[in-house]
């Protein structure tokens, strides 16, 4: 068993419940972890035997480009897209961070994590 992490995928997107967020947008960060059997990749040194970091990043960016009111919804879409791309035996974790959410108070980030 092994664990791959693709952390700190930075994206500018337009998610949020406020109408202004659809216009102004904001900064987001996504961390992806996948746990599974990567023994074949360890033995063979072949990219197709593992999870491609570039493709993970592309999937995150594709899903982040589709506006949603809730980061929970976006995180679930990312998870489902990742699951559809690779081995169903893999266990995924998607952590979506909304930096400086536009709410009253000094809030650094709002975070949602989904597992699957």
Instruction: Report the CATH number at residue 63.
Output: 3.30.1130.10
Predicted confidence (pLDDT) per residue in 12-62, tens digit:
999 999 999 999 999 999 999 999 999 999 999 999 999 999 999 999 999
Residues facing residue 20 across a β-bridge: none
Domain of residue 68: give its range: 2-115
Report yes or no: 109 and 98 within 8 Å, Cβ to Cβ. Answer: yes
Report yes or no: 72 and 10 within 8 Å, Cβ to Cβ. Answer: no
For the chain, what is the domain count?
1
Q: Rounded to 10 degrees, what is the CA torsion of 67, 70, 57, 62?
A: -20
Quick one: CA dihedral 65, 66, 70, 76, positive or negative?
negative
Per-residue pLDDT band for 87 (boundaries 50, 70, 90) equals confident
What the block records as the tokens of 99 is 């930096």
Integer Cα distance of 82 and 76 in angstroms: 10
Mean pLDDT of the chain: 96
Active-site pick, 98, 107, 110, 113: 98
Report yes or no: 114 and 93 within 8 Å, Cβ to Cβ. Answer: yes
Residue 98 is a catalytic residue:
yes
């Amino acid at each position: 068993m092994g664990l791959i992490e693709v952390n700190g995928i930075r994206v500018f997107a337009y998610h949020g419940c406020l109408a202004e967020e659809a216009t102004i947008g904001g900064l987001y960060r996504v961390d992806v972890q996948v746990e599974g059997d990567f023994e074949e990749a360890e033995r063979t040194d072949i990219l197709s035997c593992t999870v491609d970091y570039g493709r993970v990043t592309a999937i995150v960016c594709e899903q982040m480009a589709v506006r949603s009111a809730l980061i929970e919804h976006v995180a679930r879409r990312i998870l489902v897209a990742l699951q559809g791309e690779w081995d169903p035996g893999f266990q995924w974790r998607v952590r979506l961070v909304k930096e400086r959410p536009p709410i009253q108070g000094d809030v650094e980030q709002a975070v949602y994590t989904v597992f699957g």
